[in-house]
Amino acid sequence: MKTMSCFSCMNPRPKNVKDYDEDMVPRSNNSAVHARGESNDYGCGNGRKKGSSKGKKSGESNNQNSNVARSFALKELAMATQNFRETNLIGEGGFGSVYKGRLDSGLIVAIKQLNLEGLQGNQEFVVEVLMLSLMHHENLVNLIGYCTHGEQRLLVYEFMSKGSLENHLFDLEPGMEPLNWKTRLKIAAGAAHGLEYLHKANPPVIYRDLKSSNILLDSEFNPKLSDFGLAKLGPVGDNTHVSTRVMGTYGYCAPEYAMTGKLTLKSDIYSLGVVLLELITGRKAYDTSKKLGEQNLVVWSIPFLKDRRKYVYMVDPALDGQFSSRCLHHAVAITAMCLQEQASFRPSITDIVTALDYLVSQAQTLGQRKGGSHSGKQMPSSSEEFNCSSRKRSFETLAVTFKIFF
């Protein structure tokens, strides 16, 4: 691995990251699809406002350097956060503390400062910089820059105004509205699109740390995956897996990976299934405040997943029954397939994206019908109806795989 001198923070000029560890990132930039577009309401990112749709050429940035992470001096970031004042602290995680800051340009950003005594260190920092410098998608968080100064390691991201999905599912603060069913599906589909982009890269990338706290939300609840310090290149050629030490978060980790250290793309699919289960139930993947037998969400859910008649009893009470039973059955069936104990039985991410996109379109159509002619909303156009019909046909094809019955 190259020394950290290649990440000098003393030169603030934008620069390309050309040197990288062969075991961490793609050999070519061909896998990095620069699907960038409008910034969000806070002017903090380059992701398009609409969530889970695929990248389009029309959404690409005209600025050639807009996708390149720049190097910051420590004093720039100290000024941006008012010397890392506690009032600007907006979160803490395995990497360290996250502060809200304002750059000299006026751009509002999130600045993550490495905890020198934390679980993640220099290697995770390098992986994060390289991954997000090479890979760009509207459902991946945008890395604006980084800083290395002595032992200090900092990352600068676009500011996601709604925080993490975790903040909107569990232990809601007073005055916070619970996520409605349509928004939950939108977040699930967007996260799946981000994961699909990683899995379709060449070579594929295994995220390895998919969880609700790593799914960030913008002002319109469009989701973006974050925290790529544990990402790993997937198997290529005739290889079926990569062997590595077990990393991740308890409750989200695929059982075969936890037991053997053999990592595959299907390991991420299991983690996605856990997040889907959290969205459906409003319960944490692992919650020590629950009584024994209910602390592990997957274990708790097994009796419900085995009986369609019990699906409704596992739904988050905060939804107050405001969801389609048919849509719920489909969502639970998809979740159950993702959580298959045998990895080979889990669906591919592309199949999951197709299924979730269909459920999102159904939820939107149902909302328009409920709104009626007095809602002021436009009815679907012929092209929208065609797209919905196309998604339905694809979904019906997948129903055989997912064991979803209409």
100 is in an annotated binding site: no
Burial class (CB in 10 A: 0-12, 13-18, 19+), 5: exposed
Catalytic residue among 23, 104, 209, 238: 209
- Cα 321 from chain centroid (whole Å): 27
Amino acid code (one letter) for 369: R
Pick the closest to residue 335 from 239, 394, 403, 250 (CA basis): 403
Amino acid code (one letter) for 316: D
DSSP string, 358-387: HHHHHHHHHHHHHH-TTS-PPPPPHHHHHH
Ramachandran angles phi, psi of 311, nearest 5°: -55, -45
CA-atom Rg of the chain in angstroms: 21
CA distances from 318 to 139, 336, 382 (A): 26, 22, 35
CA-CA-CA-CA torsion sign (94, 180, 193, 243): positive
Q: How far apart are CA 293 and CA 301, in angstroms?
A: 10
> Cβ neighbours of residue 150 under 8 Å, at least 6 residues apart?
none
Counts of helices then strands in the chain (DSSP H, E): 10, 12
H-type alpha helices, 237-306: 255-260, 265-281, 297-305
Task: Specify whether the CB–CB gap between 297 and 251 falls below 8 A.
Answer: yes
Q: Provide the residue count of the chain.
A: 406
DSSP 3-state helix, strand, coil percentages of the chain (rounded to 5)?
40, 15, 45
171 is catalytic: no
* Other residues' Cβ atoms within 10 Å of the Cβ of residue 107: 18
SS in 3 state form for 78-101?
HHHCCCCCHHHEEEECCCEEEEEE
Q: Could you check whether the bond before residue 203 is cis, i.e. omega within 30 degrees of 0?
A: yes
Q: How far apart are CA 305 and CA 9, in angstroms?
A: 51
- The residues annotated with a catalytic role in the active site are 209
What residues form the annotated binding site for ATP?
Answer: 112
